[in-house]
Amino acid sequence: MKKPSRRDFLKIMGASGAALLAGRAGAEASESHAVNNDTLGMLYDATKCVGCKACMSACKKVNSDYGSLAFERAKFDSDGLWDAPEDLSGSTRTLIKLFKESDKQWSYVKYSCMHCQKPSCVSVCPVSAMTRDKITGTVDYNKDACIGCRYCQIACAFNIPKFQWDKAIPQIVKCDLCKNTNLVKKGITACAEVCPVGAINFGKRKDLLEEANKRLRENPGKYINHIYGEKEVGGTNHLYLSAMQFNKLGLPVLANDAPAEFSEKIQHTIYKGFIAPVALYGTLCFVALKNIKKGHGQADGKHSETDEKGASDHGA
């Protein structure tokens, strides 16, 4: 009665351990997701961008009501004459920044949602507030479902989703490819529509990739020979060309595997068909009931025995 114990306990530990190990094995065995090149995206060419920020202004104009965007005042600007966001934020979905290495070496860069093929934010959202449209590939946010847990912010490798920290009724803010605004009215995103130098192309991912490859081919030496977003984290629909190292522009060096695949496979294997939890519950019930039955037979005798023991221990 006193020592059946450690074996039972190790059994439980072993079972959960095995489930997790199976998770790892599963992660390597299973095939990766398919990239859909018919989905919509944008190609940003940093070498063409002149930094006029027309895209930023157009984005805010078009999406301010629907996307809960606002003008951000600079510290020096007491009259509120300019919109001067320092970074993507709860008021700003897209942003142009200048990266300057030296007087001759500099580049503009545009930040906005990358619209991943296998988005981490969609994978982690507990209430399906982040979704990816199967046909257009747009990663969209629904504030009516969102609970504001900010797991999407933890998960996004590009730090794109932003939270409205200063509001009592906050929401997540990020680019949705003008899904409910400019795209509906004019069939193109506001930023791509207004760009005066053609630095932002809007279209299907396959056409954008073709265009990017063409530019790389026709201008040897002009660009870094890499289309950022083609392979990163399983492929993104927002693609970049640049003459400067991408990580210097704030675009992190990332592996080609989608982080969401890694985490989902571990999670799926543990909870596949909910078999493991149910089996665990069943086994534990069986053990516990058996123990209780055994316990009842000896309960009275044992009780007084332990009491006496406890007493003598204390006396000593």
Binding residues for another protein restricted to 91-150, rule: CB under 8 A? 120, 123-129, 143-150
Min CB(153)–another protein separation in Å: 4
Which residue in the block uniquely carries the two structure tokens 């040897």?
220
Do the beta carbons of residue 161 and residue 134 sit within 8 Å? no
Task: Name which position in 36, 37, 64, 164 contacts another protein (CB under 8 A).
Answer: 164
Cα–Cα distance measured from residue 45 to residue 6, given in angstroms and rounded to the nearest whole number: 63
314 is an interface residue for another protein by CB under 8 A? yes
Could you tell me which stretch among 37-45, 163-171, 202-210, 219-227 binds another protein (CB under 8 A)?
A: 163-171
Task: Name which position in 30, 32, 159, 256 contacts another protein (CB under 8 A).
Answer: 159
- Who's near 219: CB < 8 A, 6+ residues apart? none
The footprint of another protein on residues 6-45 (CB under 8 A) is 6, 8-9, 12-13, 16-17, 20, 23-24, 27
Min CB(159)–another protein separation in Å: 6
Do the beta carbons of residue 258 and residue 116 sit within 8 Å? yes
The footprint of another protein on residues 278-307 (CB under 8 A) is 280-281, 284-285, 287-289, 291-292, 294-295, 299, 302, 306-307
Cα–Cα distance measured from residue 12 to residue 284, given in angstroms and rounded to the nearest whole number: 9
Could you tell me which stretch among 48-56, 63-71, 165-173, 217-225 binds another protein (CB under 8 A)?
A: 165-173
Distances (CA, A) of 27 to 125, 145, 268, 311: 21, 30, 9, 55
Helix (H, G, I), strand (E, B) or coil at 223: coil
Instruction: Classify each residue of 215-249 as buried b or exposed e, where b means 16 or more C-beta atoms within 10 Å of its C-beta.
Output: bbeeeeeebeebbbbbebbbbbbbbbbbebebeeb
Cα–Cα distance measured from residue 263 to residue 227, given in angstroms and rounded to the nearest whole number: 26
Compare residues 43 and 129 and give the one whose CB is closer to another protein.
129
Compare residues 81 and 154 and give the one whose CB is closer to another protein.
154
Min CB(100)–another protein separation in Å: 16
Compare residues 51 and 170 and give the one whose CB is closer to another protein.
170
Stretch 52-91: interaction string toward another protein, x if CB under 8 A: -----------------------------------xxx--
Cα–Cα distance measured from residue 238 to residue 230, given in angstroms and rounded to the nearest whole number: 9
Min CB(209)–another protein separation in Å: 24
**Cα 289 to chain center, whole Å?**
44
50 is an interface residue for another protein by CB under 8 A? no
DSSP 279-304: HHHHHHHHHHHHHHHHHHHHHHHHHH
Size of the site for another protein (CB under 8 A): 86
Helix (H) or strand (E) run with residue 108 in it: strand 106-111
189 is an interface residue for another protein by CB under 8 A? no
Which residue in the block uniquely carries the two structure tokens 């522009």?
249
Stretch 195-234: interaction string toward another protein, x if CB under 8 A: ----------------------------------------
Min CB(219)–another protein separation in Å: 30
Cα–Cα distance measured from residue 213 to residue 209, given in angstroms and rounded to the nearest whole number: 6
Could you tell me which stretch among 132-140, 190-198, 201-209, 257-265 binds another protein (CB under 8 A)?
A: 257-265
